[in-house]
């Protein structure tokens, strides 16, 4: 069934400044509607639901106008991205990634140029990417290695003057190698740079302006992006966090900070809500914790390759039960009283 996508008295998309801010959740809804209509799978009831959705909120209409702007400039959007959105199986990783990227375009204002500055876009186009739940090792041109933890992305930029890793998203374990040219080795993050000094270290970009660093061997120098005169040295056995404007005081490195590189999550008297938040990084969807049991403590070594097994083990060790609503929505709750 063909459908005219211009609905109501709406002008062509005029630009970001003239439209309301579109939250990511609404942008995703618009992308899902666009995919359904473009695939011509919508019957008259779905078309009516689409019109009702647009009429329900001016922000919905703004999101749709941005989708129409994208439709009018598909030459700017990478062909594989559009093809994956329309043709890939609904539950496939390819479809999920394409929807995520199209959503980033809508949030950015309907322009690919703006979306290219977003983390999802930069991760999609990165040199090396790990899937959720995956750890993978990448050999570097100088003989060193970098291991990517779950849902991570990096670019490798080595030239005659510098060796640079750009951490786009996630967490990495870097093992440097001696360099005959004595080029500096840097990890660039949104918060600033980490310069290696003959070392083995981890870098975790928690969000756009919060980066954690732990040194296993050697030392590193931290330089915040907006305070370049501030240089802090971190020695082996130390860890810290830094932002664009400063560096926190160093603390002792957790002995299990790099256990993920061996496929394990090691907890020692960890709060249950913190444990589940960490475990949730290694599976898709929502892994929630009822506030009533958030303070229960978890200790032990848990395999990251089998999250369902880990959750099952919690029900044996703690007074909790696991409620699975869908494959992507799981909550841990207090165990119900029997009898």
CATH number of the domain residue 170 falls in = 2.60.120.1440
What pLDDT score was predicted for residue 234? 97
Do 304 and 284 lie in a common domain?
A: yes
Question: Is 208 found in the same domain as 115?
Answer: no
Pairing assessment for the beta strands 128-129 and 192-207 based on DSSP bridges: unpaired
Residue 161 neighbours by CB distance under 10 Å: 9
Instruction: Write out the H or E segment, with its range, that includes residue 124.
Output: helix 119-124
Residues 204, 268: one domain? no
Q: For residue 257, is it within any domain?
A: no
Q: In terms of C-beta density within 10 A (0-12 exposed, 13-18 middle, 19 or more buried), how is residue 338 classed? A: exposed
3-state DSSP assignment of residue 93: helix
Judge whether 99 and 35 are in contact, CB under 8 Å.
yes
Instruction: Let me know if 41 is exposed, middle or buried by CB neighbors in 10 A (0-12, 13-18, 19+).
Output: exposed
Which of 190, 222, 252 is at the close of a domain? Answer: 252
pLDDT value of residue 85: 54
Interstrand relation of 329-334 and 232-235 (parallel, antiparallel or unpaired) = unpaired
Residues 6+ apart with CB under 8 A from 269: 297, 298, 299
Banded pLDDT at 2 (limits 50, 70, 90): very low
Per-residue pLDDT, averaged over 1-8, amounts to 42
Task: Looking at the structure, tell me whether residues 92 and 159 fall in a common domain.
Answer: no
Asked whether residue 140 falls in the same domain as residue 39, the answer is no
Same domain, 132 and 248: yes
User: Does 241 lie in the same domain as 323?
Assistant: no
Least confident of 55-69, 248-262, 276-290, 293-307: 55-69
**Which pTM was predicted?**
0.68
Q: Is residue 196 part of a domain?
A: yes
From 97, 91, 34, 99, select the one nearest 66 (Cα to Cα). Answer: 34
Q: What is the mean pLDDT of residues 182-208?
A: 92
CATH of the domain at 318: 3.55.50.30
Q: Are residues 244 and 133 in the same domain?
A: yes
Q: Does residue 11 belong to any structural domain of this protein? A: no
> Are 164 and 90 in a shared domain?
no
Do the domain assignments include residue 6?
no
pLDDT digits (tens, 9 = 90+) for 107-165: 665 455 444 555 555 666 688 889 889 999 999 999 999 999 998 999 999 999 999 99
Tell whether 299 and 204 lie within a shared domain.
no
Determine the 3-state secondary structure of 98 from DSSP: helix
Mean pLDDT of the chain: 83
Tell me the helices (H) and strands (E) count for the chain, helix number first.
9, 16
- Residues 115 and 135 reside in one and the same domain: no
Domain boundary among 90, 124, 158: 124
What percent of the chain is predicted at pLDDT more than 70?
77
In a domain, 258, yes or no: no
- Pair 143, 228 in one domain: yes
Q: How far is residue 63's CA from residue 170's CA, in Å, rounded to a whole number?
A: 28
Q: Which domain holds residue 200?
A: 128-252
295 three-state secondary structure: coil
Domain membership of residue 288 (yes or no) is yes
As for how many domains the chain has, the answer is 3
Q: Please indicate, yes or no, if residue 4 is contained in any of the structural domains.
A: no
Q: What is the mean pLDDT of residues 263-281?
A: 96
Domain boundary among 62, 89, 124: 124
The answer as to whether 5 is a domain residue is: no
- What burial class does residue 187 get, using C-beta atoms within 10 Å of its C-beta: 0-12 exposed, 13-18 middle, 19+ buried? buried
CA end-to-end distance (rounded Å), the chain: 56
Distance between CA atoms of 106 and 31, rounded to whole angstroms?
8
């Amino acid at each position: 069934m063909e459908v005219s996508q211009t609905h109501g008295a709406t002008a062509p998309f005029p630009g970001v400044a003239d439209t309301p801010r579109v939250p990511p959740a609404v942008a995703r809804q618009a992308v899902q509607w666009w995919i359904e209509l473009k695939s011509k799978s919508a019957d008259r009831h779905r078309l009516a639901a689409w019109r009702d959705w647009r009429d329900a909120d001016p922000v919905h209409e703004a999101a749709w106008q941005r989708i129409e702007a994208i439709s009018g400039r598909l030459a700017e959007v990478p062909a594989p991205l559009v093809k994956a959105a329309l043709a890939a199986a609904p539950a496939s990783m390819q479809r999920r990634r394409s929807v995520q990227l199209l959503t980033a375009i809508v949030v950015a204002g309907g322009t690919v140029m703006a979306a290219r500055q977003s983390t999802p876009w930069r991760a999609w186009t990165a040199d090396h990417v790990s899937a959720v739940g995956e750890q993978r090792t990448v050999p570097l041109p100088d003989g060193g290695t970098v291991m990517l933890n779950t849902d991570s992305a990096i670019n490798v930029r080595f030239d005659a003057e510098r060796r640079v890793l750009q951490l786009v998203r996630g967490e990495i374990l870097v093992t440097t190698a001696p360099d005959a040219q004595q080029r500096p080795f840097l990890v660039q993050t949104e918060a600033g740079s980490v310069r290696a000094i003959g070392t083995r270290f981890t870098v975790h970009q928690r969000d756009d302006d919060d980066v954690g660093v732990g040194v296993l061997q050697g030392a590193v120098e931290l330089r915040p992006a907006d305070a370049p005169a501030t240089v802090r040295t971190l020695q082996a056995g130390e860890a810290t966090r830094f932002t664009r404007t400063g560096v926190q005081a160093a603390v002792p490195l957790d002995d299990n900070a790099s256990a993920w590189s061996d496929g394990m999550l090691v907890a020692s008297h960890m709060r249950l809500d913190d444990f589940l938040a960490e475990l949730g990084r290694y599976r898709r969807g929502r892994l929630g914790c009822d506030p009533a049991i958030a303070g229960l403590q978890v200790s032990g070594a848990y395999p990251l390759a089998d999250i369902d097994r880990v959750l099952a083990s919690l029900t044996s060790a703690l007074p909790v039960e696991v409620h699975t609503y869908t494959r992507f929505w799981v909550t841990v709750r207090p165990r119900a009283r029997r009898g």
